Structure formats: structure tokens, C-alpha cells
């Protein structure tokens, strides 16, 4: 599918949509109908150009191995592009995993293409599309997410978010940034500074971070941790192999190939706010 074809308006398959409740516990699930009618068209809307910030989302997200992996588009006789209902349902599954029901501000779908100064993610290879949270398309996505009820678990976490234990971070988690694993590069080599500098480069002759340095590392790493939710925490999904539930892409490669990896388990327990013992190395 060439990018140029995407400038044609979407054609909806004329079938009636039926509701498939995603939630089993009675709360309001993310609406598939609303998704298909209003959210999905955003992914193929023309944006008047090519490249980051200008191509339709689908130009990149149909092909590339990103967590937002959309179905290949079909083309009607009149040249319009569309997804069949079945494909939309598959897209819906994928997109649903990138949102936290009820909470746009914690949803990766909403953050990625939003300008940093408007509360967006620090980085998106695809560029920034939405200047502010008042953007009409952004609001369509936000309304869709907000209309879904937050799960009882999440609601509990809302009122009492498990604290992220700094002491454990300082003494235990930081060791992982330095520890060698066969055939892998340590985090310190690439995360020593800049916006992702959670493992600041150590001064000559020093083997570990002091208290103040640890605090700064902590402040940076927190951006990649969703307390209570290991699998929504990029710290735990970015270096985790995709087959094991990790993100599709990390320039730094993988450190964990299974969620059963004792190190991953230990970090997950820390993120969940549980008491956990440091693995000895």
C-alpha cells in the first residue's frame, strides 16, 4: 500500500457491528463501536505530507514492528482504503493494550504522538502530531479511553498507589544497570545521560552511585515505571523479548527472554510494591 493511496477517505464496511464485551466483571469495557467509528479513522487520516509528524499513522504502523501493529489495509474498487470488521477487531485488540481504561494520561496510545510540552512521551520515532490536549483527534481518543471504566484493581491503585521503594532501587536495582550478562551490553553504556539517563556515567575511579546520584537516576527511571503494573512499565517491557510479552523494539536489545527470569521477577515485585529480596550476584 503506497502512502499516496491513504489520502482517500475511509470507506466503512456496511456490516452491522455487534458488541463484544471485553470485560467479564461487569464494568464498562472499551467500546469497539466507538473505536471503529471514531478512533480508527484517525490512523489513516491524511496529514498532508510524508515522514514523521506528517504521514498517516498507518503508513508506519502497518509495516513496522512497533507495539502498535495494525492490519494491512484493503483497497476498494474506487481506490479507498479500509479495514474489514474482522481486521478492525484485531486492531482493536492491539490498540486496547496500549491504553489504560479510564485514564488517557496513562495511555501510551495518547502519549506517543502528543507534544512533550502538552504532557506527551519524550520520544516517538513517528514524530509529534498533536500540539495540545485540545486537539480534536486527541480528544476523540481520550474520550474513548475515558468512557471505559477503570478496573477495580486500578481504582484501588489510584487511591493507594504502591510506593516505589527508593532504597531497594539504590542498593539493588542499580546493580542491574552495571551487571554483565553473557553477550549483552550493560545499560550504563547507553543510558549514562540525556533524557533516558537513568544510569548516569560514573566518575573515574568510582564503582557505584552515591545517594544524590542515585536519586537522580531514580527520578529518570520512574518515568518508565507504572507502579503496580510491571507489564505497563517500559523499564520491564523494553528489555524483554517480544515473544515473552516485551516491546517490539529496543535499540539496546534484550536482557530478559522470559518473565520467569529471576531478575525480571524480582523487578516486577518491586514495581508491584511487594517485599522482595535482592538477588545476590
- Chain residues in the site for ligand HEC (CB under 6 A): 51-52, 55, 57, 59-61, 64, 66-68, 98, 108-109, 112-113, 122-126, 129, 185, 187, 189-191, 196, 224, 234-235, 238-239, 247, 249-252, 255
The nearer residue to ligand HEC, 189 or 215, going by C-beta atoms, is: 189
Minimum CB distance to ligand HEC, residue 14 (Å): 26
Minimum CB distance to ligand HEC, residue 196 (Å): 5
The nearer residue to ligand HEC, 4 or 18, going by C-beta atoms, is: 4
Among the listed residues 91, 73, 90, the one whose alpha carbon sits nearest the alpha carbon of residue 82:
73
Minimum CB distance to ligand HEC, residue 72 (Å): 16
Residue 154 makes CB contacts below 8 A (sequence gap 6+) with 100, 101, 102, 103
The nearer residue to ligand HEC, 123 or 281, going by C-beta atoms, is: 123
Minimum CB distance to ligand HEC, residue 175 (Å): 11
The nearer residue to ligand HEC, 36 or 191, going by C-beta atoms, is: 191
Minimum CB distance to ligand HEC, residue 273 (Å): 19
The nearer residue to ligand HEC, 21 or 281, going by C-beta atoms, is: 281
The nearer residue to ligand HEC, 21 or 49, going by C-beta atoms, is: 49
Q: Do the beta carbons of residue 42 and residue 140 sit within 8 Å?
A: yes
Minimum CB distance to ligand HEC, residue 60 (Å): 3
Count the neighbouring beta carbons within 10 Å of the beta carbon of residue 226.
Answer: 21
- As beta bridge partners, residue 74 has 82
Amino acid at each position: 500500500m503506497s502512502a499516496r493511496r491513504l489520502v482517500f477517505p475511509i470507506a466503512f464496511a456496511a456490516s452491522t457491528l455487534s458488541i463484544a464485551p471485553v470485560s467479564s466483571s461487569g464494568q464498562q469495557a472499551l467500546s469497539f463501536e466507538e473505536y471503529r467509528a471514531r478512533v480508527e479513522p484517525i490512523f489513516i487520516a491524511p496529514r498532508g505530507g510524508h515522514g514523521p509528524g506528517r504521514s498517516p499513522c498507518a503508513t508506519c504502523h502497518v509495516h513496522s514492528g512497533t507495539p502498535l501493529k495494525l492490519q494491512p489495509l484493503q483497497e476498494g474498487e474506487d481506490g479507498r482504503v479500509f479495514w474489514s470488521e474482522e481486521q478492525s477487531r484485531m486492531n482493536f485488540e492491539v490498540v486496547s493494550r496500549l491504553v489504560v481504561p479510564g485514564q488517557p494520561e496513562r495511555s501510551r496510545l495518547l502519549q506517543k504522538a502528543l507534544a512533550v510540552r502538552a504532557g506527551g512521551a519524550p520520544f516517538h520515532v513517528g514524530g509529534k502530531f498533536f500540539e495540545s490536549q485540545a486537539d480534536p483527534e486527541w480528544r476523540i481518543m481520550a474520550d474513548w479511553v475515558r468512557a471505559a471504566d477503570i478496573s477495580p484493581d486500578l481504582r484501588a491503585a489510584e487511591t493507594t498507589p504502591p510506593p516505589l521503594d527508593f532504597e531497594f532501587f539504590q542498593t539493588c536495582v542499580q546493580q542491574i544497570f552495571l551487571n554483565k550478562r553473557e553477550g549483552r551490553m550493560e545499560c550504563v553504556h547507553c543510558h549514562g545521560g540525556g533524557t533516558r539517563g537513568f544510569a548516569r556515567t560514573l566518575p573515574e575511579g568510582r564503582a557505584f552511585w552515591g545517594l544524590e546520584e542515585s536519586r537522580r537516576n531514580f527520578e529518570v527511571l520512574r518515568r518508565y515505571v507504572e507502579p503496580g503494573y510491571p507489564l505497563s512499565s517500559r523499564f520491564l517491557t523494553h528489555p524483554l523479548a517480544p515473544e515473552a510479552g516485551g516491546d517490539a523494539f529496543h535499540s539496546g536489545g534484550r536482557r530478559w527472554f522470559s518473565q520467569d527470569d529471576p531478575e525480571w521477577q524480582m523487578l516486577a515485585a518491586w514495581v508491584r510494591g511487594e517485599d522482595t529480596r535482592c538477588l545476590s550476584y
